[in-house]
Amino acid sequence: MSQAVLPGSTIGVLGSGQLGRMFAIAARRLGFRVHVLSPDNDTPTGQVADVEIQSSYLDLDTVSQFARQVDVVTFEFENVPGETIDAIDRFVPVHPAGHVLHTTQQRLREKRFLESTGIPLTPFRPIHSLSDLSAVGDDNLPAILKTAAWGYDGKGQIRIDSREEFESAWAELKCQDAVLERFVDFEAELSVIAARGQDGSTVFYGPMVNTHQDHILDVSVTPTAFSEHIRAEAIEITRVILNELSVIGVLCVEFFLTTSGELLVNELAPRPHNSGHLTVDAHATCQFEQQVRAVCGLPLGATTQLRPAAMANLLGDLWQNGEPDWTRALKVNDLKLHLYGKREARIGRKMGHLTVLAETPAEAEDLARQARETLQIPQSQGDFVDAV
Ligand code: AMP
């Protein structure tokens, strides 16, 4: 086993959004230094890191220089180019490893891997051309056509209800390799977040129950009211995935729970996940600290949940009529506000989240939704704010 990277050492992070920011906060709390590399400047992660390097991921000279100044590297998004990981690997370890990224950054590869383990997943077909699509029978519709690469938050996805839509859907996805997934009639969407250490030990959070708006995560709640059997199965599937991929780090598995009670894997993310943000306030050790511990070869922390919790995302839409009224939400007991330091609020952009702890999951969810509503500035007041 490789030697642990101890507090006082420097961790490099690729990617500079909110996941990197919360990772850096956890790392600094443990006494590590953090260097971040991304193509942007004054980023959510850069604002809290020791060093922010602005560079293309494919500027391999700068990437190598970055690698020489750190002791271990991790990432906050899965679309890091393979060449970048290879360049860093020559100097310091990257966790999770390049093969984990390679599998999970392309839907078709990810699905083939899941199939090979016998894990149940959404029925799918690879689509490489319009004629592949035309060969699909009506009994496979409705379906969702998803690009094989570079998709997130529902980007690169089109729902298809009838054969007449094949041509326009294929053109809209710009004729890229894709997968066609059966539209799943689900009762709920769940996720399990897990960490695996360098010694092969594993810890789990959830399942969280997640609701989406326009394909973007809206609210996560835990614990869930589903049976112990569902919980145990979701965790067992996640354990198999972590071990089969030999993950060192954090990984999220997103599931559909079908109306007939079956758990199907939707997708994997080899990093902390939006549905795990509530672990920061609701669990003994959060998902970001687990990432720090795992990539540094330290023991993983306890995942004990302190109280039922709900997390509501704050998207740029909330800023439409002016800066949200933070004072109202901050008056709610047991509410924690997290803002990511992004300057520009755009529709659909994740600007922050709030987490509420309560006596029951349902109460936490109600309070989180209500608190978010109170943040929104009414139209008329917004006009006034704009005018002054
Ligand atoms: P994804 O980026 O694949 O996680 O998709 C984003 C969201 O779109 C999911 O969380 C679901 O709400 C919805 N979705 C994706 N794939 C399917 C599917 N095969 N059937 C039903 N809903 C889906």
Q: Which of 215, 253, 262 to mutate to test the pocket of ligand 1 (most atoms within 8 A of CB)?
A: 215
Burial (CB count <10 Å: 0-12, 13-18, 19+), residue 242: buried
Ligand 1 atom, smallest distance to 189 CA:
10
Q: Which fold has domain 123-182?
A: Dna Ligase; domain 1 (3.30.1490)
Query: According to the model, what pLDDT value does residue 178 have?
Result: 92
- Show the DSSP H helices in 120-227 as ranges: 130-134, 166-172
pTM for this model (two decimals): 0.94
Residue 117 structure tokens: 């383990």
Rounded distance between C-alpha atoms, residue 138 and residue 129, angstroms = 18
For the Cβ of 341 lying below 6 angstroms from any atom of ligand 1, the answer is: no
Among protein residues, the one whose CA lies closest to atom 17 of ligand 1: 183
Give CA angle at 53 (50, 54), nearest 5°.
145
For the Cβ of 181 lying below 6 angstroms from any atom of ligand 1, the answer is: yes
Ligand 1 atom, smallest distance to 181 CA:
19
Query: According to the model, what pLDDT value does residue 196 have?
Result: 98
For the Cβ of 110 lying below 6 angstroms from any atom of ligand 1, the answer is: no
Digit-by-digit pLDDT tens for the chain (388 residues) are 568 999 999 999 999 999 999 999 999 999 999 999 999 999 999 999 999 999 999 999 999 999 999 999 999 998 899 999 999 999 999 999 999 999 999 999 999 999 999 999 999 999 999 999 999 888 889 999 999 887 665 678 899 999 999 899 888 887 788 999 999 999 999 999 999 999 999 999 999 999 999 889 999 999 998 999 999 999 999 999 999 999 999 999 999 999 999 999 999 999 999 999 999 999 999 999 999 999 999 999 999 999 999 999 999 999 999 999 999 889 999 999 999 999 999 999 999 999 999 999 999 999 999 999 999 888 765 444 443 3
Ranges of beta strands (E only) in 214-328 are 216-222, 249-258, 263-269, 309-315
Longest dimension (CA), the chain: 62
For the Cβ of 189 lying below 6 angstroms from any atom of ligand 1, the answer is: yes
Query: According to the model, what pLDDT value does residue 285 have?
Result: 98
Domain spanning 10-94 has what CATH number?
3.40.50.20
Query: According to the model, what pLDDT value does residue 172 have?
Result: 87
Among protein residues, the one whose CA lies closest to atom 18 of ligand 1: 183
For the Cβ of 339 lying below 6 angstroms from any atom of ligand 1, the answer is: no
For the Cβ of 215 lying below 6 angstroms from any atom of ligand 1, the answer is: yes
Ranges of beta strands (E only) in 141-243 are 143-147, 157-160, 178-182, 186-196, 202-213, 216-222
For the Cβ of 62 lying below 6 angstroms from any atom of ligand 1, the answer is: no
Among protein residues, the one whose CA lies closest to atom 9 of ligand 1: 215
Distance 267 CA to ligand 1 centre (A): 9
Distance 235 CA to ligand 1 centre (A): 20
Ligand 1 atom, smallest distance to 210 CA:
10
In this structure, is the dihedral angle defined by the CA atoms of residues 246, 248, 254 and 258, taken in order, positive or negative?
positive
- Asked if the peptide bond before residue 123 counts as cis, ω within 30 degrees of 0, the response is no
For the Cβ of 267 lying below 6 angstroms from any atom of ligand 1, the answer is: yes
Ligand 1 atom, smallest distance to 122 CA:
19
Q: Are the beta carbons of 299 and 341 closer than 8 angstroms?
A: no
Query: According to the model, what pLDDT value does residue 156 have?
Result: 81
- The structural domains of the chain, with segments of one domain joined by +, span 10-94, 123-182, 186-387
Counts for the chain of helices (H) and strands (E), in that order: 13, 16
Query: According to the model, what pLDDT value does residue 381 have?
Result: 56
Beta strand 202-213 with 186-196: parallel, antiparallel or unpaired?
antiparallel
Among protein residues, the one whose CA lies closest to atom 1 of ligand 1: 154
Instruction: Report the residue count for the chain.
Output: 388
- Show the DSSP H helices in the chain as ranges: 18-29, 60-68, 82-89, 98-104, 107-117, 130-134, 166-172, 228-244, 279-282, 287-295, 326-330, 361-375, 379-387
Give CA angle at 45 (329, 243), nearest 5°.
100
The correct CATH number of 186-387 out of 3.40.30.10, 3.30.230.70, 1.10.510.10, 3.30.470.20 is 3.30.470.20
Q: 123-182: same fold as 10-94?
A: no
Distance 349 CA to ligand 1 centre (A): 18
Q: Which of 144, 160, 267, 313 to mutate to test the pocket of ligand 1 (most atoms within 8 A of CB)?
A: 144
